[in-house]
Chain A
Amino acid sequence: MHSRELIETYQSYVQDWRRHFHKYPELSNEEFETTKTLAKELESMGVEVQVDTERGTGLIGIIRGDKTGKAIALRADIDALPVVEHNTFDFKSTVEGKMHACGHDGHMAILLGAAKMLMDMKDRIEGTVYLVFQPAEETGGGAQNFINFGNWFNEIDAIFGGHVWIDLPAGLVSVEEGPRMAASSLFNINVKGKQGHGAQPHQAIDAVVVASAIVLNLQTVVSRNISALDSVVVTVGNIHSGTEWNVIPGEATMGGTVRFFDPTQEEHIVASIRRIVEHTAAAYGATAEFIYENRVPPTINDTASSALAERVVIDTLGVHKLSKMRKVMPGEDFAWYLREKPGCFAFIGIQNPEIDAVYDHHNNRFTMDDSILSAASAVYAEYAIQWLLENK
């Protein structure tokens, strides 16, 4: 039996699970009920389950094939976002202020569907498939923590995962090699000027003006310090200073993010930002502290894994479902897995204007065409089977 023959069989199964998870979102590191639900469902299929009992969130399902061989992981992330849902459909979030607005509900459903299919095709599996349900993708740290859970990461030889993607029409799949999602870093800037009376600027060093100058000068990192052929983003996402309209603030704080695809550029980008922050402050007689932390490296698919994924998509869904898509700027902690293991991260199209599945990820009206999710399950399952066959 081939995975493609199971797409229709499990279509409503996968769709129902996506809607179930959508109704009961849990935030990063709080996916306790989600974890219990997943464990129960996997156990009911006869899948061996290892729950991260220490954290109470996240679990591994293990499917051993009829023949022995290598091991491959299929991964889904399971956390929701602190977003108030504005959708009105009957499976909208039942938890005020929490929503699966990024599509991780779909990821869990896809992986449950893949588990069902793999259990139906154990005779074709030559090795072991690990089903990785990872917590806390949104807040960072999830993948790094989960790498240290149990021994699964040492045992696997390859990994595959994906993200439902709103910019891609429903049913299309993109699995190109090379950088697919950006590195994501967090920075904080603390400006220190000198507090004073709002009417006596000459006796103060105005942290608001210094911070503004830093924001403007930081624009030149992208426009002047980076090749136009490279894709880099520097965003100052928050700025706070002052408490009183008539007091010149002595301090300002800013937080932001840096995105890039080429890991060798990180040092240059960080040095450029630091130079601008520190010297702009100095130009005003102030000082500024720059604190930088890389949250996730770029997500980079290796050539062989992408080539296999292309064959699997064509073989399972047909050549017309294989899509080319430009790399995207959001970051993904799947990158931590790809730093150490060969693998591929797929984009699965879910856009469908007929059902209003057009709003961006993280938008309070985000939704997806979940009728195509079982097709994605088939791609996941077939990738695992084919990889194990080809890498005996």
Chain B
Amino acid sequence: MDSVEALIKERTSQYIDQVIQWRRHIHAYPELSGEEKETSLYIQSVLTELGIPFKNDVSDYAVVGEIKGAKPGPTIAFRGDMDALPIEEKTALPFASTRKGIMHACGHDSHVAILLGLGAVLQSLRNHLQGTVKLIFQPSEEEALHPGAQGIVDRGVLDDVDMIFGLHVWPQLPVGTVGLKKGNLMAASDHFTVHIQGKATHGAEPHNGIDAIVAAANWIVNVESIIARETNPMDNLVCTIGVINAGTRYNVGAGEAVLEGTCRTYAPEKRDYIERRLGESLQALDLMFGTTSTLDFRRGHSATINDGEAIDIATSVVERYIGPDAVVHPESPSMAAEDFSAYLQKTKGAFLWLGAGFDGNAPLHNGAFTIDERIIELGLLTMAGIAGDLLISHDSSH
């Protein structure tokens, strides 16, 4: 008699080379949020090859595969996000992005590959399954204003799901570990755009204009002190201005500056606070410089909060499938955001961090970010192990 664990390990090692090839293919052909057409078709072709039925009309380019076990039981969902970022790849990998200015710099290539691998393993074990597995390939995780996860929730995909799991490659944890954290895990993410209207003037006649660049520079520096001086250091709050554009010529004083950024928070009252203070500091800026400023603050993902029971299940799996040393319980949540929060507001579940850190690795969203491909097997084992614990009874594994 084979144990469930042995079966899953065997099937995983059988498929792992294929899974890595899938990941490399997806890495070479990245697509931006809302544009994941070819990625979606590629996922569908692999699922077809594996004999896994799927729906491709859920929302945008989402694909939802479904593996029905031989016997009835709970429905467990696993999710992988598909979209890439508008970042120029700076790795010299043989399978580096073939699309200029677009890159899987957030590891979603690995997430898709792991989910496809999970499909392969569980499909091969479907006679042992007591219940149903949903494989949710989700578009548009990076772009908070597109309805990535929410679009899927809104279409009822989670209505019959009892528990959901997802993971993210995580360079802050070392390769070989899995981060398992109850409660607060990832922050709420809001997107703002600021227009600072000054008055253009000849570059040699500053007194005839209102320099939007100097005003914008002041505001950016002021925002730093909202975080450093007004916020309780025990609270978790980030404000990043990711884009600034102003001016066209070197010798014309810029009349307008446009800035875009993001705020990350956990507590809802802090979310309200930073929105209010950004607006107030712009009003003060206008008084100081004579500019006219507007703040367009759009709320994006809510905070991702893990269910304790789901984390206990995952912890036990990581201990048994990878080893006790692989288990990490991070003390601090991340300020990064995840629209996985939309699923967790609908059903219980957990989001895991798959350690991807090694000396010299770049952070996520950096053109030089890469992974040690050995972690793909660890991610696959963890997900398959969770399915094994929840959907295969030890008696049925003969």
Query: Residues of A with Cβ closer than 8 Å to B?
Result: 182, 184, 186-188, 194-201, 203-204, 206, 208-209, 211-213, 215-216, 219, 233, 235-250, 252, 255-257, 259, 328-331, 360-362
Contact = CB atoms under 8 A, between A and B. Distances in A.
Nearest to A222: B206
Given A194-B366, A242-B244, 20 more contacts: A188-B250, A199-B337, A200-B363, A206-B240, A208-B242, A212-B216, A216-B214, A235-B251, A236-B211, A237-B252, A238-B213, A238-B249, A238-B254, A239-B247, A242-B260, A244-B243, A245-B243, A247-B365, A256-B250, A329-B202
A216 B309 CA distance: 52
Interface residues of B, number: 55
Interface in B195-214: 202-206, 208, 211, 213-214
Contact of A246 (B203, B242, B248): B242
A249 B208 CA distance: 32
B86 interface: yes
A212 B241 CA distance: 11
B191 interface: yes
Given A186-B251, A245-B262, A195 B365 contact: yes
A239 B205 contact: no
B189 A235 contact: no
Given A199-B334, A209-B221, A360 B244 contact: no
Contacts of B189: 199, 246
Nearest 6 pairs between A and B by C-beta? A238-B247, A329-B204, A215-B217, A242-B243, A212-B217, A199-B335
17 contacts: A188-B250, A199-B264, A200-B335, A200-B364, A209-B224, A212-B220, A213-B217, A215-B213, A216-B221, A237-B249, A239-B217, A240-B246, A241-B245, A242-B241, A243-B87, A246-B262, A330-B202
B121 interface: no
Contact of A204 (B144, B241, B264, B363): B363
B218 interface: yes
B142 interface: yes
Nearest to A329: B204
Please report whether the interface of chain B is mostly helix, strand, loop or mixed according to DSSP. Answer: mixed
Nearest to A219: B214
B187 interface: yes
Contact of B206 (A212, A235, A249): A235
Contacts of B131: none
B336 interface: yes
B83 to A, nearest CB: 12
Contacts of B254: 236-239
Contacts of A331: 204
A237 B240 CA distance: 23
B238 interface: yes
A329 B213 contact: no
A182 B251 CA distance: 13
A198 B261 contact: yes
B385 interface: no
A197 B218 contact: no
B306 to A, nearest CB: 17
B179 interface: no
A211 B217 contact: yes
B220 to A, nearest CB: 4
Contacts of A215: 213-214, 217
A199 B190 CA distance: 11
B365 A216 contact: no
A307 B224 CA distance: 57
Contact of B241 (A194, A208, A237, A330): A208
Contacts, number: 190
Contacts of B206: 233, 235
Contacts of A257: 203-204, 250-251
A204 B241 CA distance: 13
B85 interface: yes
Contact of A208 (B192, B220, B363): B220
B34 interface: no
Please report whether the interface of chain A is mostly helix, strand, loop or mixed according to DSSP. Answer: mixed
Contacts of A235: 203-204, 206, 211, 251, 253
B221 A213 contact: yes
A212 B204 contact: no
A94 to B, nearest CB: 24
A238 B250 contact: yes
A216 B248 contact: no
Nearest to A217: B217
B204 A244 contact: no
Nearest to B215: A215
Nearest to A236: B213
B363 to A, nearest CB: 4
Given A195-B366, A198-B261, A246 B142 contact: yes
Contacts of B85: 244, 247
Contacts of B213: 215, 236-239
- Scoring A187, A188, A209, A237 by chain B CB atoms within 10 A of each residue's CB, the highest score goes to A237
A283 to B, nearest CB: 12
A211 B367 CA distance: 21
B244 A241 contact: yes
A186 B276 CA distance: 39
A350 to B, nearest CB: 17
A48 B204 CA distance: 39
Interface in B254-299: 254, 257, 260-262, 264
Nearest to B201: A360
A113 B217 CA distance: 50
- Scoring B192, B203, B218 by chain A CB atoms within 10 A of each residue's CB, the highest score goes to B203
A360 B242 CA distance: 35
B288 to A, nearest CB: 13
B336 A199 contact: yes
Nearest to B298: A245
A200 B242 CA distance: 12
B204 A198 contact: no
B140 to A, nearest CB: 13
B365 A211 contact: no
B166 to A, nearest CB: 17
Contacts of B220: 208-209, 212
Contacts of B205: 233, 329-330
A62 B242 CA distance: 59
Contacts of B252: 237, 362
A191 B189 CA distance: 27
Contact of A361 (B87, B202, B249, B261): B202
